Structure 1
């Protein structure tokens, strides 16, 4: 009986699995949209530079203006929009939204980031139509919600309805600058809390805005500065009345205004009024100032008696320069100043407490120094632009997954 020999088994070679190639996602293409080119240049240029350096294709859009060419000179792709900030013509506004929609589709944008209420709402509408993710940054409630004028009251329900339709969406995030605005938007049902982020303003470059070595000489006037757009709701009337009262007392104080009226804002102070204050000798109106670090190095106190803010850049720039601050106890301003710690808070729309705060600082150099030093520490800890930019990038990442 023959036997069948067992076959010889040979080991199979180990199966080598190919190393998976990493999946690379191209950088997101981002559109920054504001209601003025001045805003992009002065408030969002640091964010734009960061995005560019990180490799993100970037487009900046706004109505035409003098700062668009400056953005182009800085190497940005800035484009003018056919947008009238004060227009309420339905056909013109629909045309603008359609223009934005086509731009976003043509450029294959990934995110549109709109600043202030009108670009936020219109950017969100166009972004939804184009299938683009949306970031809406609202710096305060703005003219429509703050003003008692008839036009503002008429627009309020329209803007509220449009905001409700566009802000609370899975592909949209809302950025506000202070807890009061967060509570207002969430509490009114315009957006859910999970899609809302609080980021304190646009930040300040604390290496550029720094402590001045200047010392006030004996007999030299105390210099108090209000730097802002020349709008009534920045508290200009109260500032001027306080200046009149203190000058009537014979105090050696110089009151300075820096900024221009905003022709697109219905609360702009007429140039004739500004000139009349200057001619009266109550204030010195400097107009537009490009070199804010240089101006802040030459003053002793910075004031902003505003009626409401998002988070005022002029205050955080002054804080970074270790200047004592005087501002109103309203949303946005009280996020920068803690009364008696790094500045003085006064009631809104009242000139007498404002004058008393100025007099107190005039009489007490040690108080000015203590408040200024504390303001600088807060600016470094909370308002440095690096912090603001990183938190903005986190919002982008949350949208892009």
Structure 2
């Protein structure tokens, strides 16, 4: 039995933990650990406190690239660690990973980051990418464990010398609560009038433009097909689409924007197929949720996204940044019989049960905590 720890969990938005890490936080508290969340304050804080977490506000600019802004984040993270004196820090999201690792190393606090995505700077090319790689190499040096959500990202970091093979471990995303996201019967829509559902922040990098353009193409051939989007406007992200653009697509009849939903299960239950044309992901949670609810998916053939399905069996792949390819995949889905669609959804559920249950993630974190704090048995 390991001794109780004071675990600080840091992330760039409190809602991120509520949406994606509730099961992990609940398990850590059940194990007897004291958990403090260090994140910018938002409407999710009360829910974290109801779980039993303490909360400390971390003001930060999530999209800023200026050295001064990042210096402020590093100093605030370090000051919080000095006050809280944690036994170990768990981190999610890019800036918290990088500057939290630097602050923790200076204080000799074990630090375990989770690389949930690479970010615009890392993928931009040129000088900005080189700077990002340099910071990663320095920040991650010597960490006991670095979690990745897909093997492509792990191999990319290892190939660049940003992590050592002994540090890196792959998780099945953030894990899915297979009881909460239970299989739902397929909706009784006419075969030529399916509901295609996209759940994402309204960012260019998520493939929202391609989704809207593909909808316009598909609806010319299948005018009763519906293309719905659930998600908030990403005002603090450099690739955020303006609300006026979303309204233009909606006014033209291409899509229906349903806004943000605290619980996406009803929207998934009403959908015939869940679509995510993202440019790259760690492990897209929405596709795992869709699979758990026995829904076929369509997504891009890129790292993270392609790991979330068994192509041809639980869903269909299309090419990234290619609305014509996405439109063809949607049209191919419409030609499937209702029985074939249902079989695809059931295969997705079986795969989710086999690979993506949150119990796998919780077990991996328990082992990482034991290793990082010297309590491995």
Above 0.5 in TM-score?
A: yes
Correspondence for 1:225? 197
Q: How does 1:9-48 map to 2 (within 5 A)?
A: 26-48=3-25
Distance in 2 separating the partners of 1:99 and 1:291: 33
With the length of structure 1 as denominator, give the TM-score of the two structures.
Answer: 0.89
* Contact kept? 1:102, 1:130, Cα under 8 Å: no
Distance in 2 separating the partners of 1:384 and 1:226: 22
Correspondence for 1:5? none
Alignment partner of 2:113: what SS? strand
For structure 1, list consecutive stretches of 5 or more residues without a partner in the other structure: 1-23
Q: How does 1:319-334 map to 2 (within 5 A)?
A: 319-334=291-306
Correspondence for 2:369? 396
Alignment partner of 1:295: what SS? helix
Q: How many residues align?
A: 373
Q: How does 1:212-361 map to 2 (within 5 A)?
A: 212-218=184-190, 221-361=193-333
Cα displacement (A) at 1:217: 4.4
Correspondence for 2:83? 106
Q: Is 1:202 aligned to residue 174 of structure 2?
A: yes
Match of 1:136 among 113, 136, 146: 113
Query: RMSD value over aligned CA atoms?
Result: 1.7
* Contact kept? 1:33, 1:119, Cα under 8 Å: yes
With the length of structure 2 as denominator, give the TM-score of the two structures.
Answer: 0.94
Q: Which has the higher contact order (CA 8 A, sep 6+)?
A: 2
Q: Is 1:377 aligned to residue 377 of structure 2?
A: no
* Contact kept? 1:101, 1:127, Cα under 8 Å: yes
* Contact kept? 1:168, 1:195, Cα under 8 Å: no
Correspondence for 2:29? 52
Correspondence for 1:13? none
| Structure of higher CA gyration radius | 1
Distance in 1 separating the partners of 2:189 and 2:236: 41
Cα displacement (A) at 1:71: 2.1
Distance in 1 separating the partners of 2:208 and 2:186: 27
1:216-266, CA deviations, whole angstroms, 9 ceiling, x for partnerless residues? 144783111000111111111111111101111243211000001222210
* Contact kept? 1:68, 1:80, Cα under 8 Å: no
* Contact kept? 2:90, 2:111, Cα under 8 Å: yes
Cα displacement (A) at 1:336: 1.1
Alignment partner of 1:360: what SS? helix
Distance in 1 separating the partners of 2:132 and 2:191: 53
Alignment partner of 1:371: what SS? helix
Alignment partner of 1:98: what SS? helix
1:273-324, CA deviations, whole angstroms, 9 ceiling, x for partnerless residues? 1111111111000110112122211111001111111000000000001101
Distance in 1 separating the partners of 2:214 and 2:66: 41
Q: Is 1:97 aligned to residue 74 of structure 2?
A: yes
* Gap change, CA 1:219 and 1:359, over 3 Å in 2: closer
Distance in 2 separating the partners of 1:250 and 1:189: 49
* Contact kept? 1:113, 1:123, Cα under 8 Å: no
Cα displacement (A) at 1:214: 4.7
